[in-house]
Chain A
Amino acid sequence: MISLRNVCKSFGRMQVVNDVSLEIAAGEFFSLLGASGSGKTTLLRMIAGFEAVTSGQILIDGQPMQDTPPHLRPINMVFQNYAIFPHLTVRDNIAYGLRRLGTPKAEQARMVDAMLELIALPGYGDRRAHQLSGGQMQRVALARALILKPKLLLLDEPLGALDKQLREQMQIELRSLQRQLGITFVLVTHDQEEALTLSDRVAVMANGQVIQVDTPSGLYDRPKTRQVAAFVGTMNFFDATVRTDGSARIADVAGLGVMTLNGSGQGRTDGERVLVALRPEGLGLSRTKPEGPAYAVAGQLQARQYLGGRQLLHVQVAGRAAPVTVAAGAARGEDPWSGDEGSPVWLTWAPDAVTILDPT
Chain B
Amino acid sequence: MTAMALTQRPASVLSRLLHRHEACRGWLLLAPALCLMLVAILFPLGSTLVMSTWSLDGYSVDRTPTLGNYSAMLGQPMFGALIGRSLVVATIATVVTVALCYPMAYFVAFHVHRHKALWLILLTLPFWTSYLLRVFAWKVVLGYEGVLNTALIGLGIVQEPLAALLYSQTAVTLVLAHSWAAFAILPIYVSLEKIDRSYIEAAADLGDGLTRRFWRITFPLSLPGVVAAFFMMFVPTVGDYITPAMVGGPDGMMVGNLIQAMFGPMNNWPAGAALSVVMMLTIGLAGLAFLAVGRLVGR
Contacts and interface: CB of A to CB of B under 8 A. Distances in A.
- A and B found bound together: yes
Interface of A: 48-50, 69-72, 75-77, 79-81, 83, 85-87, 96-97, 100-101, 144-145, 148
A68 to B, nearest CB: 12
A109 to B, nearest CB: 18
A100 B201 contact: no
Interface centre among B199, B205, B209, B217 (most CB of A within 10 A): B205
B204 interface: yes
B212 A100 contact: yes
B202 A83 contact: yes
B198 interface: yes
9 contacts: A49-B204, A69-B209, A70-B205, A71-B206, A76-B205, A77-B202, A85-B202, A100-B207, A145-B205
Interface of B: 196, 198-199, 201-209, 212, 216-217, 220-221, 298
A70 B221 contact: no
Provide the main secondary structure of the chain B interface: helix
Contacts of B203: 85, 96
Given A85-B217, A86-B221, A87-B221, A144 B198 contact: no
Given A71-B207, A144-B206, A83 B212 contact: no
A144 B209 CA distance: 17
A83 B208 contact: no
A79 B201 contact: yes
A79 B198 contact: yes
Given A71-B208, A97-B207, A148-B206, 18 more contacts: A48-B205, A69-B209, A71-B204, A71-B207, A72-B207, A79-B201, A80-B198, A81-B196, A85-B199, A85-B202, A85-B217, A96-B203, A100-B206, A100-B207, A144-B202, A144-B206, A145-B205, A145-B206
A318 B214 CA distance: 67
Provide the main secondary structure of the chain A interface: mixed
Contacts of A76: 205-206
A83 B199 contact: yes
Nearest to A70: B204
A209 B106 CA distance: 37
Contacts of B201: 50, 70, 79, 83
Given A71-B208, A100-B207, A83 B221 contact: no
B253 to A, nearest CB: 42
Nearest to B216: A96
A189 B4 CA distance: 52
A8 B252 CA distance: 63
A76 B205 CA distance: 6
A202 B205 CA distance: 24
Contact of A96 (B196, B198, B206): B206
B202 A148 contact: no
A101 B207 contact: yes
Given A86-B221, A87-B220, A87-B298, A71 B209 contact: yes
B11 to A, nearest CB: 39
B261 to A, nearest CB: 47
Nearest to A81: B198
A69 B216 CA distance: 18
Given A87-B220, A87-B221, A87-B298, A75 B199 contact: no
